[in-house]
């Protein structure tokens, strides 16, 4: 028998599955996204006795408070000028060696300045 008194109560759809899907998509995109650009620092290792050194020495030692070219303390601008005079060819290597206390940021700053000055072949050796 059908009752005509009250209409059937309407059910509301459950939002829980939709919220679960939205959160899963949010987590997926957060994990898959790249939040910053990775910078590359192109350096070559010095090698262990590979080849022969040619030309005058070009050893740049860097510390937290000083730069030295072949043992002589210099600031950045005179260092670049002195290195320019020591380069037999434009692609000649420049050897970088950290001194005790040097941080990675010192290496990054020095290599960026040298690359901006036109020195393209930088070798990093252990202290």
Does the residue 115 lie in any domain?
yes
| Ranges in the chain, pLDDT < 50 | none
Contact 117, 86 (CB under 8 A): no
> What is the spatial distance between Cα 120 and Cα 124, in angstroms, rounded to a whole number?
13
Does the residue 65 lie in any domain?
yes
In this prediction, residue 99 carries a pLDDT of 86
Provide the domain count of the chain.
Answer: 1
Does the residue 3 lie in any domain?
no
> What is the spatial distance between Cα 99 and Cα 44, in angstroms, rounded to a whole number?
18
Does the residue 1 lie in any domain?
no
Does the residue 24 lie in any domain?
no
Supply the range of the domain harboring residue 81.
56-124
In this prediction, residue 18 carries a pLDDT of 93
In this prediction, residue 74 carries a pLDDT of 85
Does the residue 33 lie in any domain?
no
In this prediction, residue 32 carries a pLDDT of 86
> What is the spatial distance between Cα 72 and Cα 117, in angstroms, rounded to a whole number?
20
Does the residue 27 lie in any domain?
no
Does the residue 113 lie in any domain?
yes
In this prediction, residue 85 carries a pLDDT of 84
In this prediction, residue 125 carries a pLDDT of 83
Collapsed DSSP state (helix, strand, coil) of residue 28 = helix
CATH of residue 80:
3.30.420.270
């Amino acid at each position: 028998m059908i009752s005509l008194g009250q209409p059937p109560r309407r059910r509301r759809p459950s939002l829980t599955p939709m919220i679960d899907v939205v959160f899963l998509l949010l987590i997926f995109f957060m994990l898959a996204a790249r939040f910053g650009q990775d910078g590359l620092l192109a350096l070559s290792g010095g090698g262990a006795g590979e080849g022969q050194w040619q030309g005058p020495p070009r050893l740049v030692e860097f510390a937290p408070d000083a730069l030295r070219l072949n043992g002589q303390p210099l600031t950045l601008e005179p260092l670049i000028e002195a290195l320019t005079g020591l380069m037999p060819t434009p692609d000649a290597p420049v050897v970088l060696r950290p001194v005790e206390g040097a941080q990675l940021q010192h290496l990054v700053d020095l290599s960026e300045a040298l690359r901006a000055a036109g020195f393209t072949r930088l070798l990093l050796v252990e202290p």
